[in-house]
Chain A
Amino acid sequence: MFTQDGIVTKEMFESSLPSPQRRRKGPYAVMECYQKIPCNPCRTSCKFGALQATDDLNALPVRDAEKCTGCGACVSACPGLACFIIDETYSEWEAAIRIPYEMLPLPKEGEKVDGLNRAGVPVAEVRVLKVQAGKILDKTNVVTIAVPKKYLYDIRNIAVRRKEHG
């Protein structure tokens, strides 16, 4: 159970996906944040009004997929590292997923890394498409990986195979 192992279930994940039509249009954000905590940087970081404004600091974030451009501003702003960007239009059998990544070494573009599931177990080899590590991200770097679509729910982390000083 989620409150016992901290692992977002497949049902929870699927319930926060946009409509099938929207999913075919391009990148969208998913907020894997299912507990009412006093927190709002995702809401204040979104420039497109995709996250409902509310006075309740404890409200769960609700993303309006029609307004969400998949820009990714929320990914590095979220202190819970709970915002991800999914682009199912990347290729026929792969989705591009943007994940927040605060570990070293950073992967390189094009590098093959282990795709880890929600319990940290490697489940597939994934390709790094892009690494964003600019100053404004303030060390919450954002790594885009190409993930086989059948692992859309599973893969949420990566392990770089090289040792430090990469």
Chain B
Amino acid sequence: MLFSDLVVIGGGPAGMSAALAAAGHGIKVTLLERMESLGGQLVKQTHRFFGSESEYAGTRGIRIADILREKVESNRLIDCRRGSTALGIYEDGVVTFEEGTQYKKVNMDRLVVATGASEKMLVFEGNDLPGVYGAGAVQTLMNLYGVLPGRKVLMVGAGNIGLIVTYQLLQAGVRVAAIVDAADHIGGYLVHASKVRRCGVPVLLGTTIRAALGTTEVEGAVIQKLDSHFHPIPGTEQRLDVDTVCLSVGLSPLTELLRLAGCKMRYIPALGGFVPVHNSYMQTSRSDIFVAGDASCVEEASSAMMEGAIAGLSAAISLHVPSAGILEQRERRIRELAALRAGDVGAKIRNGLAVMAD
């Protein structure tokens, strides 16, 4: 059995920030990451990030991953365990995990869960054909392994991920026939939309995918217009000549472990679905468990890093470690997070959090 003041599950931007914040106040941390390298979603993001310059905005996602990884790996207080998948959380403070072929246990006083989110699927005919991918898989193929997913793609979903992955496909020389989205407006940032529009990609709103065609692989797709109640309008089917369908229809927080631990959950669509109820200190209904990043609410890397820092600091504070300036530091992070969400695009998250606080 291992012992640790703080266990952090997930080595994405949220988990790494949590580990660094706590270690910064002398806390010994065990960081569990199921992949062989740290970085989470960031390692696939070749585009420049938004957010505040002080939170690495304008820097490419992959670079941000490098910066955080170097800090985590060189910190002696952080026991960084890659290739380690957390399996269970028990009432007595034991976290079990699989490391390689071994089953291990770590005893913790505090826990931060920063497991990120998983992609949503969409129901349509032929969605099981090879050639239908989630946006995450397309990014992994292209940006991690340098493999093109296809030659001509239909993108489903005009949120930020759909727009960004479309742009990355274009950069890789892949053609994108269209982006379709059931909504009546573009969900992602309009600067991203302008960027793909001026490369000639049409954005078809009030439109969905009805079918992926083909017998052994995608050989085409059928799209159809929707009325204002999201019902398909007969006679508006259109066949597109594509060999790949890429889905980017949203993410849901990965929260099985939190559920298992008995943390109170609530269904809040604005935050991505079932989310662990938590306060502004990122503390869940179990006082020894904190949450951060997409696992707490699907948002973005800048907020994930801030939430991670808040969760790490809160864990340290609750361990009663006297450390100068720690409360002020946490207040500052909380203020920064509120500033990030203060604009138009933050309204959805603000509303979701207000529902949670009810």
Contact = CB atoms under 8 A, between A and B. Distances in A.
Given A4-B185, A118-B197, A38 B191 contact: no
A37 B189 contact: yes
A80 B192 contact: yes
A32 interface: yes
Contacts of B340: 38, 57
B189 A35 contact: yes
A34 interface: yes
A81 B195 contact: yes
B339 A57 contact: yes
B314 interface: no
B59 to A, nearest CB: 8
A40 B340 CA distance: 11
A3 interface: yes
B229 interface: no
Contact of B345 (A35, A103, A164): A35
A3 B340 CA distance: 21
B185 A120 contact: no
Sorting the interface of chain B by its residue count into under 10, 10 to 19, 20 to 34 or 35 or more gives 35 or more
Contacts of A36: 343-345
Most chain B CB within a 10 A radius of its CB, from A4, A36, A55, A140: A4
Contacts of A156: 198
Contacts, number: 130
A121 interface: yes
B341 interface: yes
A41 B57 contact: yes
Most chain B CB within a 10 A radius of its CB, from A32, A37, A81, A117: A37
A116 interface: yes
Nearest to A8: B194
Contacts of A144: none
Interface in B192-238: 192-203, 205
B53 A44 contact: yes
Nearest to A120: B200
Contacts of B339: 38, 55-58
A71 interface: no
A33 interface: yes
Interface string A35-75: 11111110111000000000111100000000000000000
B342 interface: yes
B199 A157 contact: yes
Interface in A119-163: 119-121, 138-140, 156-157
A94 interface: no
B205 A40 contact: no
A157 to B, nearest CB: 4
B58 A77 contact: yes
Contact of B173 (A44, A118, A164): A164
B197 A119 contact: yes
A79 B58 contact: yes
A70 to B, nearest CB: 20
Given A38-B302, A57-B340, A119-B200, A6 B194 contact: yes
A58 B58 CA distance: 15
29 contacts: A3-B186, A4-B184, A4-B185, A4-B205, A6-B190, A6-B192, A6-B196, A37-B189, A38-B302, A38-B341, A39-B50, A40-B52, A41-B57, A57-B339, A58-B343, A79-B48, A79-B57, A80-B189, A80-B192, A82-B191, A116-B200, A118-B197, A119-B197, A119-B198, A120-B199, A120-B200, A121-B200, A139-B60, A140-B48
A-B residue pairs, 6 tightest by C-beta: A120-B200, A58-B343, A6-B193, A80-B191, A41-B58, A79-B48
Interface of A: 2-8, 32-41, 43-45, 55-58, 77-82, 102-104, 116-121, 138-140, 156-157, 164
Given A103-B171, A157-B199, 5 more contacts: A6-B193, A38-B342, A81-B195, A82-B194, A139-B60
